Amino acid sequence: MRLFLCFLFALGLGAVCAAADGNDGPADLWWVRVAVQSRAELQALAALMEPLEVDRAAGTVLLLADDTHINRLIALGFEPIDAQYVSVPYQRGDGGINGFPCYPTVDETLAQINTWAQSYPDLVEVVDIGDSWRKLNEGMGDDLLVLRLTRQNQIADKAPWFAMGALHAREYATAPLLTRFAQTLLEGYDVDPDITWMLDHQVFHFLLIANPDGRREAEAGLFWRKNTDNDFCSDSNDRGVDLNRNFSFQWGCCSGSSGSACNETFRGPSAGSEPETEAIMQYVTAQFPDNRGPNPEDGVAADAAGVFVDIHSFGGYVLWPYGYTVQDGPDNAALQRMGRKLAFLNGYRPEKASASFNTDGTSDDWAYGDLGLAAFTFEVGTTFFQSCDSYEGLVLNPNLAALHYSARVARAPFALPAGPDVTPLSLDRTHVGTDQSVVITAVAEDGRYSNTNGVEPVQPVSAVQLTIDTPPWLDDSGALQFDADDGFFDESSEAVTLNLAGAGLAGGRHTLYVRARDQNGNWGPTSAAFVTVQLLPMNLLPLWPDPVSVLDLVAAQNGVP
């Protein structure tokens, strides 16, 4: 097949193809560009395999395909107009997927979950939500384990947040990205004030590897997307069901999946037929409120809670429902607003999932369509087998920032992204005596949206407030007000200042909650900081600018180290 492609394209690829013979990577892959004449033709192509880049103006589609998939393209009349061999990166190192040491294997990920459960018993619960297809049918697969993170306390009505990775097995970066985010939450509790209040007042649900059977095949270097259901396209490397076409909402409705068992987007024999999909739907339904009314035109209340994130690769997109239709859903404006906020942070293109072609039976359509959750898909990175260097350098941190934001608005994701962000929030000191004050400065900004695909309207900031120890959404009756540095609240970005006196505050550490409102009355997400009040006047401790306790003072005065 490789020689045929070199002959077919005659575009100077002979040297590339020759070089491919010595490749040590996991699969022989090609960047393939195909011409399409209409949306209907693009939809037919998408039923065979999912396009990665669509140039609607030029009428071309970019695919990443192995030799088998290229044969199918040609057999269906989609003759490639360009192709380049992909040299798959391969790096040596200890642990991880062979050749990709930065990506934990299924076994390493499951072991990490159990280690965290032992190390953070007050924050971690591991929930077995079901079995993979192989475990259910062949006795050799895996449990689907959800890593549930929240502080074990008496706080009621915690906002739920759910994310999953590796639903498509070959998308290497997805599960490690979520694993790293979970790690930042656990290591940040009681250290980072935002992480601390989120774990106190919210519940995080991580399904790090949603398709463990398929992931094990991909770890072996196979170009594997689906689960391993051997009832379909049996005993081949194309067997299985595309789990992200198997969810029950609008399953198989709209030419957004395939009914052919060997195709990449095969939707399965019925909605929710696969044990992995069934387990996800049952678990999320049990953990989240149902925010939707009975009719398709029913919208979601502005204060509805719950965020659902499905991490995929690749392409650089933030997508929101609906994917099954080009018609906007009743909450499209709110989903678009949050999508543009997320895209501002990770640098991706925000767009509705059906912007280029329809997809049906997908996880995000189901989460929003059935339950009314704020549901998003991230298409991270630039390839399925992302090199560790580019993952660490380009993919990880921007997407951690976007995930962090999605968690901060989980209490009201249809409303909070409309309000200003408070960043950065800084204190001139973290410890203050009763005879001192701490100067708190911040910038409240209403315009932190991506403008790569449309412009989100912004408004002037009208107020910035602070509450102490009680989050403002619970009680802001005693809130303190910041002053605008220029004297007026009349711009979409305002620098603000507040002097907080230590007098009157109890000794010990306090959490300061800060949020901003725009002139339309929209409050944005809360930012937090810690400050510790020292009960002794600070002028009694001239050599100790940052004391921690009276006991320290007594010990020092008595010569105790």
> Above 50 in pLDDT, residue 11?
no
* pLDDT at residue number 539: 54
Task: Tell me how many domains the chain contains.
Answer: 3
Is the separation of the CB atoms in 205 and 178 below 8 Å? no
Final residue of a structural domain among 335, 361, 383: 383
Determine the Cα–Cα distance for residues 175 and 142; give it in Å rounded to an integer: 16
- 77 with 157, same domain? no
Mean pLDDT of the chain: 90
In a domain, 178, yes or no: yes
> Which of 71-75, 529-533, 534-538 comes out lowest in average pLDDT?
534-538
* List of residues 6+ apart from 436 with CB closer than 8 A: 429, 501, 502, 538
pLDDT bracket for residue 27 (50, 70, 90): low
> Residue 396: inside a domain, yes or no?
no
pLDDT, tens digit, 9 for 90 and up, residues 76-98: 888 788 888 887 788 888 899 99
Is 267 part of any domain? yes
Residue 437: predicted pLDDT: 95
Query: Quick one: 27 and 136 in the same domain?
Result: no
Q: Identify whether residues 72 and 120 lie together within a single domain.
A: no
Same-domain check for residues 225 and 274: yes
Domain that holds residue 195: 106-383
Q: In the prediction, which pLDDT does 25 show? A: 44
Mean of pLDDT values over 417-442 = 95
Per-residue DSSP letter, 258: B
53's tokens: 């880049």
pLDDT at residue 10 above 50?
Answer: no
Q: Please check whether residues 211 and 81 belong to one and the same domain.
A: no
SS3 151: coil
Q: Domain for residue 358, yes or no? A: yes
Q: What is the mean pLDDT of residues 254-266?
A: 95
Specify the pairing of strand 53-55 against strand 60-66: antiparallel
What is the reported pLDDT for 74?
85
Of 159, 150, 97, which is closest to residue 127 (Cα–Cα)?
Answer: 150
287 and 205 in contact (C-beta within 8 Å)?
A: yes
Lowest-confidence range among 38-47, 164-173, 300-309, 406-415?
Answer: 38-47
> Do 167 and 253 belong together in one domain?
yes
pLDDT of res. 85: 86
- Give dist(CA 263, CA 276) in Å, integer: 19
Average pLDDT on 114-120 reads: 97
* pTM for the whole structure: 0.90
Average pLDDT over residues 376-392: 96
Dihedral sign computed on CA atoms, order 195, 200, 204, 208: positive
* Same-domain pairing of 201 and 331: yes
The predicted-structure confidence for 330-363, as pLDDT tens digits, reads as follows: 999 999 999 999 999 999 999 999 998 999 999 9
Specify the CATH number for the domain of residue 523: 2.60.40.2550
Residues 377 and 434 in one domain: no
Q: Are 9 and 53 contained in the same domain? A: yes
pLDDT greater than 60 at residue 544: no
Which candidate, 161, 157, 168, 156, places its Cα nearest to that of 146?
161
Check whether 2 has a pLDDT greater than 60: no
User: Residue 410 falls within a domain, yes or no?
Assistant: no
Residue 4, C-beta contacts closer than 8 angstroms, at least 6 positions apart: none
Q: Is the pLDDT of residue 495 over 50?
A: yes
Output the domain CATH number for residue 144.
3.40.630.10
User: How sure is the predictor about 13, in pLDDT bands with cuts at 50, 70 and 90?
Assistant: very low
User: pLDDT-based confidence at 488, cuts 50/70/90?
Assistant: very high
pLDDT higher than 70, residue 26: no
Distances (CA, A) of 94 to 22, 170, 321, 388: 23, 20, 40, 13
| pLDDT at 537 (0 to 100) | 56
Asked, for residue 219, whether it belongs to a domain, the answer is yes
Given a cut of 80, whether residue 223 has pLDDT beyond it is: yes
Listed residue (124, 130, 168, 127) closest to 150, CA to CA: 124
Q: Do 424 and 339 belong together in one domain?
A: no
Mean pLDDT throughout 70-74? 84
* Percent of the chain surpassing pLDDT 70: 91
Same domain flag for 177 and 309: yes
Span 427-456, mean pLDDT? 96
pLDDT score, position 68: 81
Is position 398 within any domain?
no
Q: Are residues 367 and 452 in the same domain?
A: no
- Give SS3 for 347: coil
pLDDT beyond 70 at 14: no
**Would residue 24 count as lying in a domain?**
yes
